[in-house]
C-alpha cells in the first residue's frame, strides 16, 4: 500500500506507530532516551526529501529507528572518547609504585582485615558472605536462618564498626 507524503500523515503515523517504537526503544535504550529517540525517528521522517511515496511505513520507521540507535551509539562513543582524552590531559600520572607506597598499601590491607576480624561473629559472618562470596541479602538470610531485615542490620553494624575502627587507627 503506497502512502502519501509524510507531512499529511505524520500525526496519524505518530499515533499508529509511536507505541510500537517506544516498545522497540525500551528494549534497546535507557528509559530516559526513549521519547527522544521516538521523536528523532519522526523528525527524520518529516525532514526526509522523499521522491516517492513510502510503500511500507512500518519497515521504513523501524529502519529509521535502528539508524537512530546506531547514530546515538556512535555519538556517545565519540563523546566518551573525547571526554577520556580530556581527562587524560588533565590528570598527572600518580606516583609510581615506590617501596613506601607498597608498604603503606600492605599496612592498610592488614588494618582492614583486622577490623573485619574484630567484628562480632554474626556481623562478620554476614559481611563475609556479602563482600567475599557476593551473596545477596536474601541468600545470606536463608543461609543464616534470619530475616533479610536482620541481614541489613548486621551489614549496617559491620560497616559502621569497620569505619570507626579504621578512623580510630588514624
Single out the residue in 58, 90, 122 at which a domain terminates: 90
Q: 159 and 124 in one domain?
A: yes
Helix, strand, coil percentages for the chain (3-state, nearest 5): 80, 0, 20
Q: Tell me, what's the pLDDT at 36?
A: 86
Q: Tell me, what's the pLDDT at 117?
A: 93
Q: 84 and 10 in one domain?
A: yes
Nearest-10 Cα torsion for 81, 87, 91, 97: -50
Q: Tell me, what's the pLDDT at 83?
A: 64
CB 152 within 8 Å of CB 163: no
Tracing cell 505518530 back to the chain, one arrives at: 14
C-alpha closest to that of 126 among 137, 118, 115, 117: 137
Residues whose CB is less than 8 angstroms from the CB of residue 150 and which lie 6 or more positions away in sequence, other chains included: 141, 144
Q: 76 and 149 in one domain?
A: no
Task: Evaluate whether residue 1 is within a structural domain.
Answer: no
Q: Tell me, what's the pLDDT at 102?
A: 86
Q: Tell me, what's the pLDDT at 57?
A: 79
**pLDDT tens sequence for the chain (170 residues):** 444 444 457 778 888 888 988 898 888 888 888 888 888 888 877 777 666 777 887 888 888 888 888 888 888 887 776 666 555 555 555 556 788 888 888 888 898 899 999 999 999 999 999 998 999 999 999 999 999 999 999 999 999 998 888 887 66
Amino acid at each position: 500500500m503506497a502512502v502519501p507524503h509524510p507531512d499529511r500523515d505524520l500525526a496519524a503515523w505518530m499515533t499508529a506507530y509511536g507505541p510500537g517504537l517506544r516498545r522497540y526503544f525500551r528494549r534497546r535504550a535507557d528509559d530516559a532516551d526513549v521519547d527522544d529517540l521516538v521523536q528523532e525517528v519522526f523528525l527524520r521522517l518529516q525532514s526526509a526529501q522523499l521522491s516517492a511515496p513510502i510503500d511500507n511505513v512500518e519497515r521504513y520507521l523501524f529502519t529509521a529507528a535502528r539508524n537512530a540507535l546506531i547514530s546515538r551509539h556512535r555519538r556517545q562513543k565519540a563523546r566518551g572518547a573525547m571526554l577520556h582524552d580530556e581527562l587524560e590531559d588533565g590528570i598527572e600520572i600518580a606516583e609510581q609504585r615506590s617501596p613506601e607506597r607498597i608498604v603503606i598499601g600492605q599496612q592498610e590491607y592488614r588494618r582492614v582485615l583486622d577490623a573485619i576480624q574484630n567484628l562480632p561473629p554474626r556481623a562478620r559472618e554476614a559481611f563475609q558472605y556479602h563482600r567475599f562470596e557476593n551473596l545477596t541479602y536474601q541468600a545470606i538470610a536463608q543461609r543464616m536462618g534470619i530475616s533479610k531485615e536482620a541481614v541489613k542490620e548486621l551489614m549496617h553494624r559491620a560497616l559502621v564498626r569497620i569505619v570507626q575502627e579504621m578512623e580510630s587507627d588514624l
